[in-house]
Amino acid sequence: MATLSDFSAILFDVDMTLTTSQREVSPNTQAALSGLATKGIKLGVCTGRTYVSLVKPILPYFPDQSLHIVAGGSQIITKEGEVKWQQLLAEQIVREIVALADETGEMYYLANNQQGYGNQTFIETYQNLHSLIPPLRLINELKDWQIPAIVCVNVSQAFLEKLQQRQDITLKTSVSTGNFVSLDITPKGVTKEIGVREWCRLQEVEPHQVIGVGDSDNDIEFLKAVGYAVAMGNSTDQIRSVAHKTIGETDNDGLAVYLDGLVKGASV
């Protein structure tokens, strides 16, 4: 029966896994993360979120030397935002997708490691969703168009069909907090699985030594890439089908209870 001592690291999805439906890391989860860190377990997030949406609400609860997989697997960054590995969307691709999104009236968001940008509709609707620091700016203020990912919200069928015809991007969908459907656009072939492989290389651990925790369908590749997959109680059926174990729901502190048990010697 495997226990925490059989593993070297734990990676967490963020929304509705590490955080509650109120987009907060509960005090019990904060304490559990601290307990894992004292055990020498390497911790990190594996999320579709960009770095700027993690700085204030998430990363303070992780060890100083932690590394994090962000932007759907396109970047690996330190807690302070230093990029350790990345694959970026080419400027031309970003410009073409933004132009198409404007044409079909989509809401979209993208970011570098200092600033988030969106169109007017997205900013008006979702500005306060993820405690972005600093606040979002309009897309026309963006100077460097090489970015790790584009996030579009509740997209139209026409826009989705146009994107599906492209051979130079990867598309992933998930239902996020606020009950909107997020379409994450990353470079061709880049998923959370790629991020996990690079994260393990940088951390000098093997994927089978990693526990992964997630809830949404865009965590499928991530959970299949690690040694032990854990589904939240609020997970989709597809996530439950690939997980080794299902724990309690995030709003019932399911993650904190599970992690506290690991620290105290319970089986994974």
User: 111 near 117, Cβ under 8 Å?
Assistant: yes
Strand partners of residue 171:
185
pLDDT tens-digit map of 196-219: 999 999 999 999 999 999 999 899
Average pLDDT over residues 47-64: 93
pLDDT at residue number 129: 62
CA angle, 94 as apex, 88 and 97 as ends, to 5°? 140
pLDDT at residue number 7: 98
pLDDT tens-digit map of 23-40: 899 999 999 999 999 999
pLDDT at residue number 125: 84
For 206, phi and psi rounded to 5 degrees?
Answer: -95, 145
Q: What is the DSSP string of 106-151?
A: -EEEEE-SS-EEE-HHHHHHHTTTTT-SS--EEGGG-----BS-EE
pLDDT at residue number 130: 56
- For the chain, what percentages of helix, strand and coil (3-state, to nearest 5) are there? 40, 25, 35
pLDDT at residue number 253: 98
CB atoms within 10 A of CB 30: 14
3-class DSSP state of 34: helix
Mean pLDDT, the chain, rounded, equals 94
**Is pLDDT above 90 for 264?**
yes
User: Could you tell me the pLDDT band of residue 175, with boundaries at 50, 70 and 90?
Assistant: low
Q: Is the whole-model pTM more than 0.85? A: yes
User: Could you tell me the pLDDT band of residue 174, with boundaries at 50, 70 and 90?
Assistant: confident
pLDDT tens-digit map of 105-162: 999 999 999 999 999 999 888 776 655 556 889 999 999 999 999 999 999 999 999 9
Strand partners of residue 169:
187
pLDDT tens-digit map of 216-259: 989 999 999 999 999 999 999 999 999 999 999 999 999 999 99
**Is pLDDT above 50 for 171?**
yes
d(CA 217, CA 62): 25
User: Could you tell me the pLDDT band of residue 177, with boundaries at 50, 70 and 90?
Assistant: very low
